[in-house]
Structure 1
C-alpha cells in the first residue's frame, strides 16, 4: 500500500535530517543527489524544515559555478543543549554541547571518599549547572550519565552495587529535581565506552566486538550484530567477577576480589610492575596502572624518530625511504627495556585469561582493550595479547588498543544524549 502524502513527507524530512546529522551542512543539490528525490521535492522539504526551525542557512558552498553560490543548509545547533557526565568513584566530569555535538564547555571536580553523600551530590549538581551556564545553555534538553555499576534494564535506574558510593545513586534524582524539564538517562560506563569506540574509535569497522575496560577497575561491554547486549539483569560484562587462576581466593556476590579484577585492576597492575622494577606516576586523575604501562611501553619502544608514531627501529629499516638525513639517529635500547618487556609479557598473560574466556563464549572476532590502561598499552600490549589468544583459542580474534581511552565514557554519554534528543526532535530512525 503506497504511503500517504503526509507520511511520505515525514519520511523524506527525516531522511534529509539524518543526512545533515551525519555529513554536516549540505546544499539542496547535494540533498537531491544523496536522497534520490526530485528537485521540487527537495525544495519543498528544505522550505518545510526551515519554516519549522529545524534547519537554517549555514553558509555557501563556494563551488565554482555561474550565478550565486548555492546555500548550505545545516541543523540548527542551538535548538537544544545537551550534557554528558562521567561519574567515577573519585569525582565527576561534565561536558555540555549543542545539538550537533560541538562541545561548548567542560569541567571536572574531585569528590573524595570522605565527602558525605549530601555534599557530594550537591557538588556534582552544581558543576552541571555551572558548566551549562558557561556554555550559554538556558535549558538542558537531555543529560546522559555514564556510571559504574549495574543498570536495571526494566527501569534504567542505577542499582545498589557493592563498593560504590551512595551519592552515585542519589545523583540522578537530585539532577531531575533541579532540572525538571530535562530528560536524564543513565548507562553503564563501559557500555558507553563501547558505543564511542564503535562510532568514533577503534571499532568503527565492526558490528560485533567486545570492549575490555581497563581503568581503575575492569569491565566489559558486548556488542553483537550492532546491538549492545545488557543481559537479563543488566550485568553483561561484569568480568571483574570472573573466577580465574592466579588469584588467592574466589570472588563473592558482593566483592570481585579474587576474580579477574585482582589480576587486571589498576592496583594489581601497579604491583606487578613494581615486581619488575617499573614505576611511574599517573597523569592527572588517570589510574596509576596506566602510568606504569605507558612507562613500560616507552622503555620497550625506545627513542622515536620524528616520523609519525612509528618507532625508529621500524621506520629506519633497510630500504625504508621515510627517514631523512635530518632525522635523529636511533639510540641504543634502555637498560630497563628487558624488565619492562617482561612486565608487559606478564600483563598480557593476565589479560589473555579474561580475553580467552570471552572469546570462547562469544566469538566476537575483535576485542578492544579500552580505558586508560588499554590506550596506554597501545599496539605493543594489544599485539602481545593477540599472540596469546592465537595460541589459546581456535577462534580468530583481532585485539586492538582503544583510541579514545578514558574519554570514551564522556564521548559515549554525549552521543547517547544527542541521539535521544535528535530522535525526539526529528523522529526516531525506525519511523523513517
Structure 2
C-alpha cells in the first residue's frame, strides 16, 4: 500500500495560482476578498499569489470594485488578455471564416475569405491563390487587431481528423486546398495549429456556452449541407480510434434507396436529411423552395434552410406535413444513435436545426419517444451560426492557457 506524499510548497503554490487564474477566466475581474471567498484561501496566501501572478504578467489591476464603504475601493484583478492571441478558423467548401481573440477568448476581429471557381479544376472551388489569401488575411487581421503574433490557431474542417497524427482524412471528396491550407498554416514558425472536425468544435461550443451547458452527456446532431454529430460523454468529446465518431452521414437507415459505401454516404442518413433531400421533400409536399430559380443559385443548403424556416412560420397544412415528415426522418437517425449511447439529450444544430427551432425540436422529440424506450430530450442549438468558430476559439484558448499557465507555474 502506498501513501500519498504531502504537497510541497511549490506544488501548493502552483495549485493555488491555477485555481485563481481559472476563476478570473470564468468569473471575470475579482477583488482579493472575492478570491478569498471563492478559493477558501487565507488573506496572506491570496495576496502572495496575486503578487506572483502580476509579476508573471498574467494578472493586472483592472479598476476598482466601486463598493460603497469606508476607505478606498477594493482593487479588481483580471487576466491580462493581450498576454497571447488566438485565432479560430472555419474551413468550408465555399471559403474560410476566421476570428482573432485574446487569451480570455474575447473577440477582437473577424474576416471572411470567399472561395472562387478554380480554373484548373472544373467544378471545383478555391482557386490557386485561396491558401495564400487566407494566410495573408489571417496575419493582416491579427495585426490590425493589435496581435503581433498568434500563439495558437484552431481550425475546424469537415472530414475525419486522425487523433494521433492530426491529419485530415479526405473521406468525402473535400477540396484539395483544405489540406494545402493546413500545411501552409503549420509551416508558420512560432504558431501552434490545432485541427478538429467542425461538428466537434460546434459540440464544444454547445457544451461550454450553448444549449448543453448543464449536460455532461449529449449528442449534437448537425443538420446542414449534410449531417454529422458530436458526441460528448461524461464531459469528454469522443473522437474514436480513427476520428470517425459522429460520421452519421454514413449511417444505414430505412427509407433510402440503396446503402452507403466506404467512399460515399449516398444511401445513408445523409440521403434522408441532407439539404438536397430536404428540398426534394419540400417539393413533394407542394412547397416552393425559395431561391430555386435564382441566378446564381444560392446552393442547396441555403435553399433547404429557407424552406424549413418558411414552413415553421406558416400555418399552411402542407408546411406542417412537411415538418412532420422531416422530423420523422431526423428521429430515425437520432434513434439509432440514442439506443447505442443513451445520451439523454440531443441538440439540433446547423442551418436546418436553427431554422426549425423549437417547433422542429418538439416534433423530433415526440417522434423519437415512439422509436425508443430511452427518454431523450431534444433541444435547439444555442451557440448560433458561429458555433464552429466559437468552438475553435475555446479550443485554442484552452491550449494556449495550458501552455502559458503551465510555463509560469513551472518557473
TM-score, reference length from structure 1 = 0.88
Give runs of aligned pairs for residues 405-424 of structure 1, distance below 5 A. Answer: 405-424=384-403
Rate the CA distance shift 1:410–1:116 in 2: closer, same or farther, 3 A.
closer
CA contact (8 A) 2:289 2:304 kept: no
Q: Distance in 2 between matches of 1:278 and 1:63?
A: 60
Unaligned 5+ residue runs, structure 1?
A: 301-336
For residue 287 of structure 1, give the secondary structure of its aligned residue in structure 2: helix
Deviations 1:232-275 (A, max 9, x none): 11101110011112112211111111111011111111121122
CA contact (8 A) 1:90 1:113 kept: no
| Aligned: 1:62 with 2:59 | no
Q: Distance in 2 between matches of 1:389 and 1:122?
A: 46
Partner of 1:360: 339
Partner of 2:121: none
Q: 1:113 deviation in Å? A: 4.7
Give runs of aligned pairs for residues 197-216 of structure 1, distance below 5 A. Answer: 197-216=206-225
CA contact (8 A) 1:90 1:110 kept: yes
For residue 367 of structure 1, give the secondary structure of its aligned residue in structure 2: strand
Q: Distance in 2 between matches of 1:146 and 1:394?
A: 35
For residue 314 of structure 2, give the secondary structure of its aligned residue in structure 1: helix
Structure 1 residue corresponding to 2:158, chosen from 129, 148, 151: 148
Partner of 1:299: 314
Give runs of aligned pairs for residues 104-115 of structure 1, distance below 5 A. Answer: 104-114=108-118, 115=125
Q: Distance in 2 between matches of 1:341 and 1:50?
A: 60
Unaligned 5+ residue runs, structure 2?
A: 119-124
Q: 1:291 deviation in Å? A: 1.4
| Aligned: 1:131 with 2:141 | yes
For residue 6 of structure 1, give the secondary structure of its aligned residue in structure 2: helix
Deviations 1:378-419 (A, max 9, x none): 110000010011111100000111112431100000000011
Q: Distance in 2 between matches of 1:384 and 1:7?
A: 53
Give runs of aligned pairs for residues 11-410 of structure 1, distance below 5 A. Answer: 11-114=15-118, 115=125, 118-177=128-187, 179-276=188-285, 277-281=287-291, 287-300=302-315, 337-410=316-389
Deviating above 4 A after TM superposition, structure 1's stretches of 4 or more consecutive aligned residues are: 281-286
Q: Distance in 1 between matches of 2:140 and 2:272?
A: 39
Partner of 1:7: 11
TM-score, reference length from structure 2 = 0.92
Q: Distance in 2 between matches of 1:15 and 1:354?
A: 42
Q: Distance in 1 between matches of 2:146 and 2:303?
A: 36
For residue 406 of structure 1, give the secondary structure of its aligned residue in structure 2: coil
Q: Distance in 1 between matches of 2:325 and 2:112?
A: 34
Rate the CA distance shift 1:405–1:274 in 2: closer, same or farther, 3 A.
farther
Q: Distance in 1 between matches of 2:332 and 2:224?
A: 17
Count of aligned pairs:
393
